[in-house]
Amino acid sequence: MTAEADFGQFRAQFPTTETIAYFNSGSYGLLGNGVRAAMEAYLADRIAKGADWGAWVALEDAVRQRMATLLGAHMHEVAVTASASAGINAVASSVDFSARHKAVVSNYEFPTSAQIWHAQEKRGAEVVHVAEAEDRTIPLAHFDAAIDQDTAIVALSHVCYRHGGKLPAGQIREIARIAHERGALVILDCYQSIGTEPIDVRALGVDFCVGGMLKYLLGSAGSGFLWVRDALTSALAPSTSGWFAQADTNAMDIFAHDPSPSARRFQGGTPPVPSLYAAKAGLDLILDLGVDAIEGRVRMLTRLALDRLAQADIAVATPDDDALRGPMIAIPARDDDALVTGLIAQNIVTSSRDGNIRAGFHAYNDKADVERLVEALARSGQCFGRRELVG
């Protein structure tokens, strides 16, 4: 079977692609047949059994194991959370700002991340932002200048949600090296990349990694993950907690707090059971096709889109270098909201942020989708020419 046939079979699992050119995976991935069946299985189980905690705990562990596989990690290093926000909040609650008061935050961050670190100002934190250069990259020198002996933690986003620019693996490793030499921890948000390229948390040298299931991991809202470097787990004590964060979830002890020795100590209360059905099925779709194959497909499609946009004299806000962008391409628009609405009327689904429309690519997209998008943008009159935005 050819690679193209493999991707054709993958695309066939997403009925939406029959009528819609879908480029909104950076907001919410498409619903696959397997994920829909899993969600229907949850409803059937509820009707047939009422409750099945044994099976649900096993399901949470199945999600944990699949996430560990994707991250190149061990299962006991992964916490299953209700969202990326829940994971970041748990980490933030475990950071002591009394000795080191700085939280260094990249300007690639999604609002959730930056807002959580600013919320720590009441606990003594000082938030220092690391700005982008004019080309929308963040040079290593900017991080080097911001991280010092007063830095407690450095927050990075792998891919910027506004324009799709990416911190390459080599730069993340260097940032982590600098941070660790100066005594700081590093948390990586890979929500806008996980599922579209391999992410090896050990090779990257970070201490934490967070994300969620509803975008490129093809699950649903209501579930996320947090990876914690094994050596840190016993050293950190999050003040956010719950019964599923305990060493023994069945202890039901109201007179003590006994956190799990694993990353589960960063969890909270009752797991997001319905979302776990979808999360497992979505992860299976990714693992069955293979992240390496998905990375190649997405890179080919984004490269094709950039080349076709250049031919159409349409300006983009995303770095052209393959190593400096994720699965998203951002196109500046005169009225981004109007352009998104106009594209929807043509069965082309995108999203908008910061004056750009965002096209998020996944392995279920194909070359015909790219042509539909570029042709519609060229007709719209809403896009800028490549020279219009220079200077």
Per-residue pLDDT of the chain (391 residues; tens, 9 = 90+): 356 659 999 999 999 999 999 999 999 999 999 999 999 999 999 999 999 999 999 999 999 999 999 999 999 999 999 999 999 999 999 999 998 999 999 999 999 999 999 999 999 999 999 999 999 999 999 999 999 999 999 999 999 999 999 999 999 999 999 999 999 999 999 999 999 999 999 999 999 999 999 999 999 999 999 999 999 998 999 999 999 999 999 999 999 999 999 999 999 999 999 999 999 999 999 999 999 999 999 999 999 999 999 999 999 999 999 999 999 999 999 999 999 999 999 999 999 999 999 999 999 999 999 999 999 999 999 999 988 865 4
Global pTM reads 0.96
CA distance 306 to 310: 6
Give start and end residues of each alpha helix (H) in 219-366: 230-233, 273-289, 291-311, 336-344
Contact between 101 and 122 (Cβ < 8 Å): no
Q: Which residues pair with 79 in a beta bridge?
A: 226
Q: Which of 291, 288, 231, 241 is nearest to 267 (CA)?
A: 241
Calpha distance 150→338 (Å, rounded): 46
- Identify the three-state secondary structure at position 375: helix
Question: What domains are there in the chain, each with its CATH number?
Answer: 3-23+290-380 (3.90.1150.10), 37-286 (3.40.640.10)
Residue 244: CB atoms within 10 Å: 18
Beta bridge partners of 211: 225
Alpha-carbon distance of 216 to 286, in angstroms, equals 9
Helices (H) and strands (E) in the chain, counts: 13, 12
What's the rounded Cα separation, in Å, for the pair 101 and 79?
Answer: 26
Q: Which is nearest to 211 in space by CA: 199, 61, 258, 361? A: 199
Query: What would the two tokens of residue 169 be?
Result: 């693996």
CA distance 229 to 224: 17
